[in-house]
Amino acid sequence: MEVAYIILSVLLAGSFLILYDLPVVGGSILASGAGERMGVRILLPALLLAGILVPCFVPEVGYPVTKGLSIPADGVDALSVGIATAATAVMVGTFSRYPAVPYAFIASLAGIGVAQGIPLQPAAFRYVLSWITGPVVCALLAAGIYSICSSFLRRGKTHMAIQEGKVLFASSLVSLILLFAVAFNNSMVFSFLPSGKGWLTIAVAAGCPLAAWFAVRSKVLANKYSVADNDLDINSLSILSLMLAMTLAFGLFSSGLPAKVGLVATPLPAGTLYLAALLGISMVRERALVDGGELLKGGVAALVSPVLGFLVAYCMGLILDGRVVSTLVFLGILLFLGVISYYRHLQDSLALQRQALLSGEQRAYSTQKSLSALEVRAEMTEQDLRNKLDAKRKELVDFAVGVSDQKEFMEKIYDDLAEVRAMEDGEGKDDAMDSLLGALRERMYFTREMNDFYARSEVLNEDFNMRLKSMFPNLTEGERKLANLLRQGFSSKYIASLMNITPKSVEINRSRLRAKLGLQRSDNLIKFIKSI
């Protein structure tokens, strides 16, 4: 059972470490270009595992965090530390992308110890100093490395590919060491593992990160690509300086060197070091490589994480110890913090929902706008078509009038022909005949135009003709033509000209049509035809 609690605790703390620290390291490696090299991709997981397992195989190396702190021997206490770390990471994660998970973890260790009545040793306060010194050292290192490397690389007219090749070479090497250093430095989460259990310890040390990795894999990958593509859109030398500074900081604070200046070896959060390194490089380059707001949030996260971790763990320690009043006070504080966190989370969710709603409304509005535009266009098209139809009708009427005029003209020619026949002068007769031939040619055109007129009329009144045919199948072709012309409002005189009959014949045809349509004397023929 004890081992199960420890495993659970390691899993909890390990998951949040992987979730917040690995994307920063992985994103930096990816942005440097080293992540695209086959050799690096093969070696990285091996070195990560090596960093975790080295303390298991080489006990004299020891864990970097056990000095000055009481390591809980009890499984439940260990689980409390894991829960406190996870809770802190969740709370700090609501306002910053870089919660200082290792700080929270160590503060939780201290918190649980204090709750159990073990006073904090003076060495424990050195952690606070080290947590401040770590990022400062990292920023200074990054600034120094960038200055030295840029002055070294910019010497001479070396080809960019060679310069970048050298940087890539260094980045590949540094990325391997960086991952090992991060894993080794943060391996404090295994400081609970019962020592001396040999292969069981190794199996838990290797298995827990693997299980934690699978639990948060998709989010880690998404964050990693976000860091590489959005945050680290800077030159390769800056990325190399950043990685090297982080590597040195991790290495430095995993060694005995800090102890020589009154500090302690401590696990450091990759996110905080990353922001510090970017700040250092920004100062050298005199150009902001990181957003000020992000930097501020990261700083606050680094300060708040240990405080919260301590409080949560202390509270849990009191609960476990059975002290009611203190427990209630701390539970109240915790509840308050939890409510604040939840409120923030709720606010964020609501803001997101509002944003989604707004974008949905905007989409709906733009769709509505497109629909209205389509309707207007359709209306305009319909109107346009109606106008065209009217124009065609008018054209047809004009055409019919023209035809009628031509007919009158033909009658005149006919009379002239009679006169010509009566003429006796041969020459005058020939001239008159020529003009008559011309007139006859016009007559020919007239017939063709009449057919054309009827064809156009059929097309324009296609619906009417079809309805007429289906309602009164006994009508002749001539009667349908008459109905058509009446519908278009032609007078009997024009109809007579158009149909090449006398106006009297038109009247007779109208009477026949009325009879066939079944109309009474009182019924208006034209109104009836128009109503069809």
Partner 1 sequence: MGFLDIFSLKRATNLIKSMDALLLTVAESLTVFKGGVKDYLYGEEAGFAENLSKMASLEAEALSRIKEIEGTLYSKGYLMRSRGDIMRLLERFDHIVTIISVDLVQFEIESPNIPKELKREFVKLTELASLAVESSIPGAKAYFTEPQAVAETTSQVYFYEKEAVKLSQSIKRTVFHQMEGLKLSEKFHLRYFALHIEDLAKAAVKVAEQLSVMAIKRSL
**DSSP per residue over 427-455, as a string?**
HHHHHHHHHHHHHHHHHHHHHHHHHHHHH
| Interactions with partner 1, residue window 165-224 (CB under 8 A) | 165-166, 168-169, 172-173
Applying CB under 8 A, which of residues 108, 236, 241, 497 lies at the interface with partner 1?
236
Contact 466, 473 (CB under 8 A): no
Q: Which of 305, 494, 335, 481 is nearest to 399 (CA)?
A: 494
Toward partner 1, which CB reaches closer, 32 or 108? 32
Question: Which residues, 6+ apart, have CB-to-CB distance to 69 below 8 Å?
Answer: 106, 109, 110, 113, 121, 123, 124, 127
Distances (CA, A) of 521 to 307, 490, 504, 524: 107, 21, 19, 8
Work out which of 58, 161, 325, 422 binds partner 1, going by CB under 8 A.
161
Q: Which is nearer to partner 1, 44 or 482 (CB)?
A: 44
Comparing CB distances to partner 1, the nearer of 1 and 160 is 160
- The owner of tokens 């303390």 is 55
Which listed residue (233, 419, 424, 463) binds partner 1 by CB under 8 A?
233
| Residues 336 and 82: beta-carbon distance below 8 Å | no
> Out of 197, 287, 369, 386, which residue is the one contacting partner 1 (CB under 8 A)?
287
Number of residues that bind partner 1 (CB under 8 A): 29
- 175 vs 266, which CB is nearer to partner 1? 175
Taking the C-alpha atoms of residue 261 and residue 124, their distance in angstroms, rounded to an integer, is 15
Near partner 1 by CB under 8 A: residue from 121, 235, 406, 492 = 235
Cα gap 2→75, rounded to integer Å: 5
Asked if 488 and 530 touch (Cβ cutoff 8 Å), the reply is no
Query: Which residue carries 């019962």 as its tokens?
Result: 194
**Between residues 142 and 499, which has the closer beta carbon with respect to partner 1?**
142
- CB-based burial of residue 312 (10 Å sphere; 0-12 exposed, 13-18 middle, 19+ buried)? buried
Q: Specify the residue, 138 or 176, whose C-beta has the smaller distance to partner 1.
A: 176
29 vs 110 by CB, closer to partner 1: 29
Rounded to the nearest 10°, the torsion over CA 54, 58, 61, 64 is: 50
Q: Are 89 and 15 spatial neighbours (Cβ–Cβ below 8 Å)?
A: no
Q: Can you say how many angstroms the Cα of residue 239 is from the centroid of all Cα atoms in its chain?
A: 28
What residue has token string 């055109």?
445
For partner 1, give the closer residue by CB, 162 or 352. 162
Residue 265 interacts with partner 1 (CB under 8 A): yes or no: no
Binding mask 7-46 for partner 1 (x = CB under 8 A): ------------------------xxxxxxxxxx-x----
Least CB distance from residue 290 to partner 1, whole Å?
A: 16
Binding segment for partner 1 (CB under 8 A), chosen from 138-146, 233-241, 249-257, 427-435, is 233-241
Q: Binding to partner 1 by residue 152, rule CB under 8 A?
A: no
Single out the segment in contact with partner 1 by CB under 8 A; choices: 159-167, 209-217, 295-303, 394-402.
159-167
In the range 326-385, which residues lie near partner 1 by CB under 8 A?
Answer: none
Residue 160 binds to partner 1 (criterion: CB under 8 A): yes
CA distance 181 to 175: 10
* Contact footprint for partner 1 (CB under 8 A): 31-40, 42, 157-162, 164-166, 168-169, 172-173, 233-236, 287
